[in-house]
Structure 1
């Protein structure tokens, strides 16, 4: 008796068959972008499509799955439970699509994509002029939405594509690149009156300090004030390092600064720098990218471009 052989399909083949029966695969990236942006207009900008074209694509998906998928909320839209369910299923489909079909060539000088960039203080003052100048000359159609001083995955409902800051972020669909290590120094008023060359760590924390507010979750200063004893040295909490320098130049407070900040400060002669009597004298600076498709050529271009521009303070 001959044995009947049954060929089993791989899970991805089942997915492909189900998707082929139900919808145009071109609608999946549109759906994914709308899920990320929670806004039809912003999704259209990212995709390089017209707003009516994106709306039409979502309407086709609504008819296919018999669900509204998105409902109006404030200035944006919110996914329905069915949309969240589809998002999980489409993630695997997108993975298969990106592996079967090579990504399209990205031409930055012709692109009109929108990227949202979060840059933590004080790195915004250092890098944003360089970034804007480069984009203006090499990709004038690309638009940057820049948020300063925060590092959440979303800022006021806005999806973040890239972040520059002093902390790396781990997780799915996240790419981290170490850019450089920022050299730190202590700063004080020139007439401070103490012998900084002989200062010990205990003497350092007995002095009165100015810091970037520890109430800010992205505080530049927080790592040096991780115990109640160290925090007791804080006499002033400001919002940015340049304001701290102004305060230090006019008081008997001291602060921790990147060396490039003190070099750029307009009242430099009024302050002195000294070597920190601390174990941590550097802070690593990272570029973080968030994407559902690491092989997206536009994402890769911007990631590589920001890496080149932001290598050195």
Structure 2
């Protein structure tokens, strides 16, 4: 069926339909040519192609110009809504109405960002866009750009130090590492962990490489210091429950530490070691830059980051 449709459409183009419309309204080849800013031979040639395509004279000569045939009037009735709709599609900017939208978005991010953000995001979506559905995909900074290019996800959230020319990036906020522990099990003399207190306790590590040695350990080695890492996992989900039950410390981004503190009654302390902060951004492809749905979703994430940043 599609082959038949394609073969039929090859005989026509939009310019022929515009010529047909001008001939129908002007009832003159000369006036139609002037209206279309074309030469009269070009309009006569287009009319010849129209006649061949539809198998009908379409317009017949009279002493007063040209008159449409019954077939031409029938075609006009069917073609006019098509041209109006096409014009509206080409000239009006795309819109996205969250309240009535029925759409599925796929987002790539780490589990830490998912834990910190998605409760707020889903709360906002439930209120403003009840027909929208979100699918989360695990995406690290190294894998997210490729997932965007392949169409696996439409939006990525994370730390992206570089941005390809065909990607678009919007900074959201900066985060730092902080320490999380159970204040009933880890005694702290002051308002924050000292370096001695930090080193004397056991540690849990989130390591995407499944190791017991991470960035914090590298920084400690520069100072000829060492901590005791007794647990490592590529996920953040388990660590707060271990910390809740054992006298141990885990060092995580401040945006997830705030969520753990508020829900599990844990304590948060600055890291007793100077380390840089990191910028979290939204990332999407340039081909989606004019998608109003993506723009809306990006604004929701920006608002949710603002809420998360207050923890």
Which TM-score applies when normalising by structure 1? 0.53
1:169-205 deviation per Cα after TM superposition (whole angstroms, max 9, x unaligned): 51133222222233543233434356575733x8745
Distance 1:108 1:187, change over 3 A: closer
Question: Which residue is 2:123 aligned to?
Answer: 133
Does 2:178 match 1:185? yes
Q: State the Cα distance separating 1:210 from its structure 2 match.
A: 0.5
1:5-62 deviation per Cα after TM superposition (whole angstroms, max 9, x unaligned): xxxxxxxxxxxxxxxx99989xxxxxxxxxxxxxxxxxxxxxxxxxxxxxxxxxxxxx
Kept in 2, the 8 Å contact 1:118–1:160? The answer is yes
Distance 1:185 1:160, change over 3 A: same
Give the paired residue count.
211
Question: Which residue is 1:123 aligned to?
Answer: 113
RMSD: 3.9
Q: State the Cα distance separating 1:305 from its structure 2 match.
A: 2.9
Out of 165, 173, 197, the position equivalent to 2:158 is 165
Higher helix share: 2
Q: State the Cα distance separating 1:260 from its structure 2 match.
A: 0.6
Kept in 2, the 8 Å contact 1:118–1:146? The answer is yes
Q: Structure 1 CA distance, aligned partners of 2:99 and 2:289? A: 21
1:239-290 deviation per Cα after TM superposition (whole angstroms, max 9, x unaligned): 4434212222333432113241342242x2xx54433111127543322223
Kept in 2, the 8 Å contact 1:166–1:284? The answer is yes
Q: State the Cα distance separating 1:231 from its structure 2 match.
A: 8.1
Superposed counterparts of 1:88-103, under 5 Å: 103=93
1:114-135 deviation per Cα after TM superposition (whole angstroms, max 9, x unaligned): 3211231222122212222333
Question: Which residue is 2:261 aligned to?
Answer: 263
Does 2:255 match 1:247? no
Q: Structure 1 CA distance, aligned partners of 2:114 and 2:99? A: 24
Q: Structure 1 CA distance, aligned partners of 2:263 and 2:237? A: 7
Question: Which residue is 2:46 aligned to?
Answer: none
Which TM-score applies when normalising by structure 2? 0.54
Question: Which residue is 2:62 aligned to?
Answer: none
Q: Structure 2 CA distance, aligned partners of 1:205 and 1:24? A: 75
